[in-house]
Amino acid sequence: MQQAGYVHVTGTLVRYYYVCKRQVWLLAHQIVPDQEHEGIVVGRHIHEHAFKRERKEVWLESGKMDIVGMKDGKLVVGEVKKSSRSADSARMQLLFYLDELKNRGIEARGELRFPKEKRREAVELTEDAIAELERVRTEIREIVCMETPPKARRIKYCRGCAYAELCWA
């Protein structure tokens, strides 16, 4: 069992937190979802082909930002997602990256991009978002330190989940 203070929280864990706590535990314990699952394959395709001219991935210790560039003299970090179905979790993942940058002395603003929907959404880091992220980091650490994953429970995302076989087989 990991100690709560040593759990490395990533942007992906933050995104999963808002979708399914069980996914947080599974991924943190290096149990990866089915890489041939249709949703993952489609997401990978979009990631590889959308915004090719702008794509400049940047890795932080806590994850990978899809697009980083300058717009109107300001640093903009973009996250590309296949749909806005779970926009709330994607927004929190992007806010997490903005907060990580801020903690390193880098001010930036965010932009969620949904290429299939031809839609973009501006994301700004606020004091409320920072407080929410601190709460979420603490809860993620608690989940990861559990000896077993949280009990599976059916939610709206189960039908399209690449971890479904681990929960319902």
pTM of the model: 0.81
Query: Tokens in use for 77?
Result: 């970090």
pLDDT digits (tens, 9 = 90+) for 73-123: 899 998 888 788 889 999 999 999 999 999 999 999 999 998 888 899 999
Residue type, 14: V
d(CA 33, CA 51): 25
Tell which CATH architecture fits domain 4-168. Answer: Alpha-Beta Complex (3.90)
Q: Where are the domains of the chain?
A: 4-168
| Whether pLDDT at 1 is above 50 | no
Q: Which of 13, 28, 37, 39 is nearest to 136 (CA)?
A: 13
